[in-house]
Amino acid sequence: MPDRLKVVTIDGPSGVGKSTISRKLAARMNFTYLDTGAMYRAVALKCKQNGVDVSDEAAVALLLENLDIQLLPALSEKEEVRVILDGKDVSSLIRSPEVSMMASAVSALPSVRECLTRMQQQLGASGKVVAEGRDTGTIVFPEAIWKFYLDAAPEERARRRINQLRSRGEVVHEEEILAQILKRDRDDSVRTIAPLKAAEDAEVVDSTRLRADEVIEHMLGRINRK
Ligand code: DC
């Protein structure tokens, strides 16, 4: 068995607060935050920009040959990581509802997963990383020391997503957001490759009734014990 990696993995469905929690936990531990979802979003945006159909795996695979993604720390505590795709800052573009749905579709393609998993493993190879996604505890860093699976009721996740989008000044339709969350859950869980599920050695944390800071304290407590 390989040495265990000084990596924290945080997986779970969309809208569960993984990004906020992972980013703040990484800051508290002085670790680097690795937002793997942002990388799937960047590939989806690249497809959109090049007019490539996300169900056409051969065409998507061609785009991967010239994929240049850089993740930079957020400018403030409230913001997500900055994502540079092919030299341009696409941090806002990758967060649109359309790109979210496309990201779910590209994430089901084996060639995309292989490519991004390899990049993520390189980024985490020396440890001191908090990796956030759907398969970071199961596939990307199976040897991570600390693994969490964050969950919350879909209605609560929809409520949080709606607040987040509204705080950015976007007009949102509540039922649409809940429907999108349920669809993405279904798509992410039933896909044959790297389906969304907790690693056997992950601790499942239900955050439906917990604030982000409470979840972080709980995780830090666990981490300090191991
Ligand atoms: O976490 P997010 O919403 O930014 O992720 C965008 C999409 O990418 C989401 O549909 C799931 C997918 N994803 C994945 O399949 N594996 C990961 N490790 C991270 C994200």
Number of H helices, E strands in the chain: 8, 8
Ligand 1 touching residue 135 (CB < 6 A): yes
- Amino acid at residue number 136: T
Determine the average pLDDT of the residues in 71-96. Answer: 91
State the pLDDT confidence band at 164, using cuts at 50, 70 and 90.
confident
* 75 pLDDT more than 90: no
pTM given for the model: 0.91
In a 13 Å sphere around the CA of 177, the CA atoms on its Cβ side amount to 21
Ligand 1 touching residue 80 (CB < 6 A): no
132 to each of 45, 149, 172, how far by Cα in Å?
20, 10, 26
Distance in angstroms (rounded) separating the CA atoms of residues 33 and 73: 8
Ligand 1 touching residue 215 (CB < 6 A): no
Distance in angstroms (rounded) separating the CA atoms of residues 129 and 164: 25
State the pLDDT confidence band at 3, using cuts at 50, 70 and 90.
low
**Atom 20 in ligand 1: residue holding the nearest Cα:** 37
Domains of the chain as residue ranges with CATH:
5-206 (3.40.50.300)
Q: What is the pLDDT of residues 167-176, one digit of tens each?
A: 989 888 999 9
* 1 pLDDT more than 70: no
Q: What is the pLDDT of residues 38-62, one digit of tens each?
A: 999 999 999 999 999 999 999 999 9
**SS3 call for 69:** strand
From the CA of 116, give the closest atom in ligand 1: 18
- Which value, in Å, is the radius of gyration of the alpha carbons in the chain? 17
Q: What is the pLDDT of residues 97-118, one digit of tens each?
A: 899 889 989 999 999 999 999 9
Q: Which of 11, 80, 104 to mutate to test the pocket of ligand 1 (most atoms within 8 A of CB)?
A: 104
Q: What is the pLDDT of residues 165-198, one digit of tens each?
A: 899 898 889 999 999 899 888 887 888 888 888 9
Residue predicted with more confidence, 78 or 178:
178
